[in-house]
Structure 1
Amino acid sequence: MRFILVILVLLSNIAVAQSLLWEVSGNGLKEPSYLFGTYHILKDSYLDKTPTVKTAFNAAQGIVVETTIDSSAMLSMAMRAIMPGNSLKKLLSDADYKVVADEFKQVTGYDLAMFNQMKPIMTATTLTMSYAEKEVDTLSKFTGQPLDLYFATEAKKRAKVLTPLETMEQQMAFLFDHDSVEKQAADLVKLVKEKKELEDQSKHLTNLYLAGDLDGMWKLSQAHEKKHGDLSYLVNERNQTWMGKLPTLMALRPTFVAVGALHLPGPTGLIALLRKGGFLVKPL
């Protein structure tokens, strides 16, 4: 579940309305901007079922996404993912390595040896995405590009102003470096041994997203944190940083902001923070 929340990732004191798209106005904005919660592994044909999102995207002059692909950073990312002088075989017992290797081969079709010198979070994330794509039937119905990539690509095609909130290096630091490789390895083994729970929660999370149920997703994330540990570094801390940028970007031009859905709800979510900042934020 931890890794599913990472992929999705990444409210006032009352329940949030059933919506993934919010209009942001007031506080000196000449035209409204929009805030949309994405699901990073959902494909863009999903938008054919949500014309309101397309209308908001089309109306915006600026597009804001979490990050954009930077080919010059690929080598740096690859180096960050590697464990010099270490390996999965050193981090895991022989028995646990076999359990993970067998599962990895069955689910992805690849030998775990290919990932042996990569940080365990890489293996865990690859497994999690495979679980989600194979076990959640509703995801396979959608085609095209992942939502975030679609918005960035379309922004460039239509000559809209595209602004990433973070660099790829910053995002990879959250993923690769926050936890020690020892903890990552322990989490990987736990992921494999508790995969049935993960699969059930993955389906639940996807259904909540497709229903636009931010409140349900928020409650699910809170229940997960109580059981598995704090994820504030992935959501709350980044929200605070982004709030240092979003008001200025929205003041410059009507802007469509697309970030992981879990960044929207909760007392430290973007909806609450924007309202606290004086903006009128209403569901569409």
Structure 2
Amino acid sequence: MKIIPAIALLLTSLFTGHAKAQQPASEKSLLWEVSGNGLDKPSYIYGTIHLICESDFRITDKVKKAFDKSSQLVLEADIFSPEIKNEVQQEMMSDVPLSKKLAASDYAAIDSILKLKCGMPLKVLDNYKLSMVMSLVAIKLFPCTAPQSYEAAFDKMAKEKNMHKAALEEVIAQLKLLNKAYTDSQIIAQVKSFDSAQAGTNTMVALYKAEDINGLFKYMTTPDLMDENTIKWMLVERNNDWAEKMPAMMKKESNFFAVGAAHLPGPIGILALLKAKGYTVKPIMN
């Protein structure tokens, strides 16, 4: 149960389409500086991929420098707080057992995939929501046994530095949004498409390593797998909420914001929203 919050963060960056986008080389960066508009010190926004294999995991020198200049780490949610365990478990429980909720054919298909990919039968998760099933299957999309977490790495770095820590939203609120964003039929379809999703994960990682945040945004908002409702709850609502909270944090001190890379670009992204508020937002290339 300790890994459930981290799994929840993972969901917006998996089970996505295969579209690619081109982006000017000058803007291919995961790290952005926010300054001006009355700020005494700049803050930084880093786009994460919530899980990635160790062989692809890296924290570059430019990221380390920005982190060292910051006095507060801000994550999407405080996924490392031990106090949330019971609340998270309760939120992931279903009112109706999956064995009664799903059509027999869907139950059999998901049970088969779960046994093959996760080594467990669906009956073990019978009292959980389908989003829990999707979470466990999603981890198996990576070609490694123990994917790394940027959030965990930054949390460790913050502790070593005795750095302030904060969050943009509550874990429980995040899980509630997750369950609003994806219908059962969407989750069933995505779990069934495991093989194609696994291939797509390789594309996502390649885009991430290239720091192509626009490419990631296009990839993750493919209409067949992320409809208007999903985009509304997972991106639009959250981005606007965060963009309202960030100015007060930045006014107080220099922050290192670490959020999913898909939240940064595009007209609905936090970079554009902060620019609209009068801040200078620029990529850090090296």
Q: What range describes the TM-score normalised by the shorter chain of this pair?
A: 0.7 to 0.9
Query: 147, 168, 173: which is aligned to 1:170?
Result: 173
Q: 2:102 aligned with 1:103, yes or no?
A: no
| Structure 1 length-normalised TM | 0.84
> Does structure 1 conserve the Cα–Cα contact (< 8 Å) formed by 2:28 and 2:213?
yes
Which residue of structure 1 lines up, in the alignment, with residue 5 of structure 2?
Answer: none
- After superposition, what is the alpha-carbon deviation per residue over 1:50-102, rounded to whole angstroms, capped at 9, x for unaligned? 11111111111111111112322211211111123x11111222222121111
Q: Which runs of 4+ in 1 moved over 4 A?
A: 43-49, 140-143
Deviation of 1:27 (Å): 1.1
Structure 1 distance, partners of 2:190, 2:240, is: 30
Deviation of 1:187 (Å): 2.5
Q: 2:249 aligned with 1:239, yes or no?
A: no
Residues 141 and 210 of structure 1: is their aligned pair in 2 closer, same or farther, counting only changes over 3 Å? farther
SS at match of 2:223: helix
Which residue of structure 2 lines up, in the alignment, with residue 270 of structure 1?
Answer: 270
User: Aligned AA for 1:58?
Assistant: D
State, as a whole percentage, how many aligned pairs show the same letter: 29
Q: Gapped runs of 5+ residues in structure 2?
A: 1-8, 16-21
Which residue of structure 1 lines up, in the alignment, with residue 19 of structure 2?
Answer: none
Q: 2:210 aligned with 1:200, yes or no?
A: no
The aligned runs of 1:72-151 (5 Å cut-off) are: 72-84=83-95, 86-131=96-141, 133-134=142-143, 140=144, 145-151=148-154
Bigger shift: residues 195-204 or 108-117: 195-204
Which residue of structure 2 lines up, in the alignment, with residue 229 of structure 1?
Answer: 227
> Does structure 2 conserve the Cα–Cα contact (< 8 Å) formed by 1:80 and 1:176?
no
Residues 102 and 35 of structure 1: is their aligned pair in 2 closer, same or farther, counting only changes over 3 Å? same
SS at match of 2:140: helix
Deviation of 1:263 (Å): 0.6
Residues 47 and 23 of structure 1: is their aligned pair in 2 closer, same or farther, counting only changes over 3 Å? farther
Residues 24 and 271 of structure 1: is their aligned pair in 2 closer, same or farther, counting only changes over 3 Å? same
The aligned runs of 1:252-271 (5 Å cut-off) are: 252-271=252-271
Structure 1 distance, partners of 2:10, 2:167, is: 22
Deviation of 1:204 (Å): 1.1
Instruction: Count how many residue pairs are aligned between Structure 1 and Structure 2.
Output: 265
User: Aligned AA for 1:229?
Assistant: D
Structure 1 distance, partners of 2:227, 2:241, is: 22
Structure 2 distance, partners of 1:101, 1:251, is: 51
Q: RMSD between aligned alpha carbons?
A: 2.5
SS at match of 2:169: coil
Structure 2 distance, partners of 1:164, 1:44, is: 25
User: Aligned AA for 1:6?
Assistant: T
Query: 151, 156, 170: which is aligned to 1:153?
Result: 156
| Structure 2 length-normalised TM | 0.84
Structure 2 distance, partners of 1:251, 1:245, is: 11
Q: 2:3 aligned with 1:22, yes or no?
A: no
User: Aligned AA for 2:175?
Assistant: M
User: Aligned AA for 2:86?
Assistant: L
Bigger shift: residues 160-169 or 187-196: 187-196
User: Aligned AA for 1:174?
Assistant: L
Q: 2:30 aligned with 1:31, yes or no?
A: no
Structure 2 distance, partners of 1:258, 1:105, is: 34
